[in-house]
A and B are shown apart, each in its own frame.
Chain A
Amino acid sequence: MKPNTRSALTLASPSIAWLVLFVAIPCLFMLLMSFLSTGIFGIQFKFTWRNVEQFVSTPLYGYLLFKTFRISIFTTIITLVAAYPVALFLSRQHGTLKTVLILFLFLPFWIGNVVRTFAWLPILGRGGVINQILLDLHIVSEPADWLLYNDFAVYLGLVYVYLLFMVLPIFLAIDRIEPALYEAARDLGASGWATFRRVTLPLSQPGILSGSIMVFLLAFGAFVTPALMGGTSGIMYSNVIATQFFADNNWTFGSALSSVMTVLVIVFLAASGRFVGLRSVFLSRAEDPR
Chain B
Amino acid sequence: MTYRANESRTEKALLWGYASLVYLFLYAPVITVTVLSFNDSQVVGLPLKGFTTRWFMVVFTEPELVAAFANSIMLGILSATIGTALATLLALAYRRPFPGNGVLFYLIVAPIILPGVVGGIILLVFFGMLKIPLSLWTTALTAHVTWVLPFSFLSLYPVMHRFDHSLEEAASDLGATRAVVFRRIVFPLIRPGIVAAWLFAFSLSFDEFVRTLFLTGFERTLPVQFWYMVVESLSPEAPAMAVVIIVISVATSLAGAMLSRQRT
> Which residues of A are in contact with B by a Cβ distance under 8 Å?
4-5, 7-12, 14-16, 18-20, 22-27, 29-30, 33, 82, 85-86, 88-90, 92, 94, 101, 103-108, 110-116, 118-123, 125-129, 131-132, 160, 163, 179, 182-183, 185-186, 192, 195, 217, 220-221, 223-224, 227-228, 238, 241-242, 245, 251, 254-255, 258, 261-262, 265, 269, 278-279, 282-283, 285-287, 289-290
Contact = CB atoms under 8 A, between A and B. Distances in A.
Contact of B109 (A115, A129, A282): A282
B110 interface: yes
B115 A228 contact: no
A23 B249 contact: no
A99 B79 CA distance: 30
Nearest to B234: A121
25 contacts: A4-B96, A8-B94, A8-B101, A19-B110, A29-B125, A112-B245, A115-B242, A119-B32, A119-B242, A125-B44, A179-B3, A192-B11, A217-B115, A228-B230, A228-B231, A241-B118, A242-B117, A245-B121, A258-B115, A262-B115, A283-B158, A285-B154, A287-B155, A287-B260, A290-B204
Contacts of B94: 8, 12
Q: Which of B6, B142, B207, B223 has the most CB of A within 10 A?
A: B6
Contacts of A116: 29-30
B118 A221 contact: yes
A112 B125 contact: no
Contact of B223 (A26, A115, A238, A290): A115
Contacts of A22: 123, 126, 142, 145-146
B7 A92 contact: yes
Interface stretch (B18-26, B53-61, B168-176): B18-26
Given A122-B36, A279-B105, A285-B154, 16 more contacts: A12-B90, A29-B129, A89-B15, A92-B12, A108-B26, A122-B44, A123-B32, A127-B43, A127-B46, A192-B6, A221-B117, A254-B121, A262-B114, A265-B118, A283-B157, A283-B158
Which 3 A-B pairs have CB atoms at the shortest separation, nearest pair first? A221-B115, A112-B207, A127-B45
A276 B29 CA distance: 35
B65 interface: no
Contacts of B142: 22
A118 B6 contact: no
B104 A23 contact: no
B11 A255 contact: no
Given A29-B122, A283-B154, A118 B204 contact: no
Contact of B115 (A19, A265, A282): A265
A34 B71 CA distance: 33
Given A5-B98, A108-B30, A186 B6 contact: yes
B146 A19 contact: yes
Contacts of B1: 94, 179
Interface SS of chain B: helix, strand, loop or mixed? helix
B187 interface: no
A284 B15 CA distance: 24
Contacts of A123: 28-29, 32
B236 to A, nearest CB: 11
A119 B226 CA distance: 12
B152 to A, nearest CB: 10
B244 to A, nearest CB: 10
Interface of B: 1-8, 11-12, 15-16, 18-19, 22-23, 25-30, 32-33, 36, 43-47, 86-87, 89-90, 92-94, 96, 98-99, 101, 104-118, 121-126, 128-129, 142, 145-146, 149, 151, 153-155, 157-158, 200, 203-204, 206-210, 213-214, 223, 226-227, 230-231, 234, 238-239, 242, 245-246, 249-250, 253-254, 256-257, 260
A114 B221 CA distance: 12
Contact of A15 (B23, B86, B98, B245): B86
A117 B60 CA distance: 23
Contacts of A127: 43-46
Nearest to A118: B230
A127 B109 CA distance: 42
Given A89-B15, A192-B8, A114 B149 contact: no
Given A19-B110, A26-B125, A113 B207 contact: yes
Nearest to A190: B6
Nearest to B27: A108
A110 B251 CA distance: 9
B157 A286 contact: yes
Nearest to A99: B261
A289 B209 contact: no
A161 B140 CA distance: 24
Contact of B209 (A113, A128, A283): A113
Contact of A103 (B104, B113, B257): B257
Nearest to B261: A99
Contacts of B111: 19, 23
